[in-house]
Amino acid sequence: MTTTESTEESPTAADSGASATEAFRATRQHADGEVSAERVDAVVRAVLAGVHQAIRDERVTYPEFQAAKQWLMDLGEGGEWPLFLDVFVEHVVEDVAAESQRGTKGSILGPYYLPDQQRLPSVTALPSRPDERGTPLVFAGQVRDVDGNPVPRAELDLWHADEQGYYSGFAPGIPDGNLRGVVVTDGHGRFEVSTIQPAPYQIPTDGPTGKLIEAAGWHPWRPAHLHLIVRAPGYRPITTQLYFEGGKWLDSDIAEATKPELVLHPEPTGDGGLRSEYDFVLERA
């Protein structure tokens, strides 16, 4: 299955921020109930205490405080809060959640998820352009429960960047739904997806987040990865990312989201492509 058009321009931070904000608000309609006043009080007090202590420890000056205030205003006006929080904060929230979970290791959702993508059969190809560039990749495996039993008709909500590191829905010139889909496993929980190996990418650097990264002397790169949400009725869904052995930036991910258990080991197929297998384990909800 194919789509048309090709990438002609690099995405801007403003465009990516607007798309990420819209996608986040769309998914919030399925969020859990309100947070209690007690939890708001406890968490906000803890966050403010940490900020206050950092100011004291680093002897923050008024000019630095005013610069930080301006940067926070720019971050909001540029629509980059989803980007900033997903890159610099979400991995710690995920670490805390993982302490009480079993099954496949999780990772961050990131800002580039889009819900309601095309449903695909267990053996399939992700939607792509006729001239989609990149090394062909076959990604296969099985979804099982913690006792080793297959989970039939599980869903793999799969998305990833293209060969240039751009995501459909967040970069101009890429068709909607490109390199995205919801793969439904067969009666034995198995799947096999044909796609291309994504490229590493840098988070948009022309906005306030990029200015912070530059000012701090950091690099803005994420290693190449596949995004997945694996779910089935009666099971806790897993949000994760799978990386590639030997990939650039694997040991210095700006989002600090890599884990050894989530690294794929692709094997050459003999025809210029790669094949990698990975099994997912779900726990009962």
Lowest mean pLDDT among 12-16, 63-67, 200-204: 12-16
pTM score of the predicted model = 0.85
Task: Give CA angle at 114 (112, 118), nearest 5°.
Answer: 135
**Is residue 182 a contact partner of residue 120, using CB atoms and an 8 Å limit?**
yes
Of the pLDDT bands very low, low, confident and very high (cuts 50, 70, 90), residue 16 is: low
Q: Which amino acid makes up residue 21?
A: T
Q: Which residues contact 232 (CB under 8 A, 6 or more apart)?
A: 143, 151, 153, 154, 155, 282
Closest C-alpha among 7, 2, 61, 1 to residue 174: 7
Structurally, at CATH architecture level, domain 10-285 sits in Sandwich (2.60)
Structure tokens at 140: 């296969």
For 143, the 3-state DSSP assignment is strand
Which residues does residue 244 pair with via DSSP β-bridges, in sequence order? Answer: 264
Beta strands (DSSP E) in the chain are 119-120, 123-125, 136-145, 155-160, 180-184, 190-196, 201-202, 221-222, 225-231, 238-244, 263-264, 267-268, 274-277, 280-282
Give dist(CA 31, CA 253) in Å, integer.
28
Mean pLDDT of the chain: 91
Give the pLDDT of residue 31: 60
In this predicted structure, the answer to whether residue 29 has a pLDDT above a threshold of 60 is no
